[in-house]
Amino acid sequence: MAEGPTITTIAERAGVSIASVSRVLNGLPTRQETVRKVMAAADELGYVRNAVARSLKSRRTHQVAFAMADVGNPAYLAMLREIQPVLKAAGYRLVLHSTDAVAADEIDVLHSLGERYVDGLIMSPLRVTDEHLQMLSAARAPVVIIGSVPEGTPVDNVRADSHTGVRLALDHLHALGRRRIALVNGPLDTVPGAARSGAYRDALLALGLPYDENLVQIGDFYRAEGARAVADLLARVSDVDALMCANDLIALGALDVLRAAGKRVPEDVAVVGMDDTDLAAASWPSLSSVSLGSAERGKAAAELLLDRLQHGDREPRLVTVPPRLVVRASTVGEQVGEQAAGAPGDGTGRPARRASTKAKGGSGS
């Protein structure tokens, strides 16, 4: 009977030492390039690792968890598409948790890190409670948070810049002559809801526009709830000429309501979303949206987690991904193609410095 592949044959195929192969297969810190070579050689040779034995020996499972609020939200799918290949190249499997933004479920995921079912966790919570912070401080495995946590929280953190993103959108709408710009937001007790609310106030102030509570409607970060919120807003205020929506799903709900009400977009009401998910480019009319770089945030989170898994203790790192406004038909009609603007004051719909070639999603962080 032919002998199966061994670490010696894997080392020969990969062009590395036997010791390097052993380190990779046992989950010990190793250079990324070496990991890729060894894993590729092992796959080619049909080597089947004994995961149980390896886990007992190295105390590693070679699994990483990703916990998100809603697996159906395209913003999180954009993150997932970047997290998965980064981890796979390093020999890790990905375990998914969809928590429905229920804090107790997220706390349970953090608590279960003590059971060592995964080596690390990437989490994107909509709310960050005191219990979250306590569990993060006591976490038994490395954690990376996609979203905002208070300064001093002992975890790596990847953030969006919602404040600049909202300013980009309102600068764009103001430059188009819109003055009755409403905000359709998610719950204010969430990280994104609070961030969007504060950014909206600041952007109005910078533009010399008054803050009017009648132009603010609170709903939730889903299409149906967004539609209900916009319907309530329009029933109360008749002269709205633009909607700043806290995410793309809310904006899609807004388009549904405006269409049913006989409102023309953008002639009567211009609409801007946030996240720039794949749905933004596919909607009718196509949706102007602020990209919060969720693909970039997913990739950065995976790389931060791998770095900590391979190199151990170090100071927590903060990565902030800059936003950009992608201009489409929901604000400027069909006279221009898809354009992108990346700084406040550059959102008029004129040809921008950088074109967006692919819609990207983002969480509500």
Give me the DSSP letters along 40-70.
Answer: HHHHHHT----HHHHHHHHS---EEEEEES-
CB within 8 A of 1, min separation 6: which ones?
none
Q: Which two tokens stand for residue 254?
A: 């807004």
Burial of 103 (0-12, 13-18, 19+ CB in 10 A): middle
Tens of pLDDT, residue by residue over 330-340, are 999 976 556 66
Domain boundaries, the chain: 7-58, 63-160+295-321, 162-292+323-341
CATH of 63-160+295-321, one of 3.30.450.20, 3.40.50.2300, 3.50.50.60, 3.30.1240.10: 3.40.50.2300
Region 297-309 average pLDDT: 96
Q: Where is pLDDT greater, at 32 or 50?
A: 32
Q: Which residues of 52-64 are buried (b: 16+ CB within 10 A; e: fewer)?
A: eebbeeeebbbbb
Q: What is the pLDDT of residues 11-22, one digit of tens each?
A: 899 999 988 888
Low-confidence winner among 16-25, 176-185, 261-270 (lowest mean pLDDT): 16-25
Q: Tell which CATH architecture fits domain 162-292+323-341.
A: 3-Layer(aba) Sandwich (3.40)
Q: What Cα–Cα distance (Å) separates residue 321 from each residue in 130, 147, 300, 311?
A: 25, 11, 9, 24
Express as a percent the part of the chain with pLDDT over 90. Answer: 71
Same topology between domain 63-160+295-321 and domain 162-292+323-341: yes
pTM: 0.78
Using DSSP's 3-state secondary structure scheme, residue 8 falls into helix
Reported as a single tens digit per residue, the pLDDT across 121-148 is 999 999 999 999 999 999 989 999 999 9
Three-state helix/strand/coil letters over 185-245: ECCCCCHHHHHHHHHHHHHHHHHCCCCCHHHEEECCCCHHHHHHHHHHHHHHCCCCCEEEE
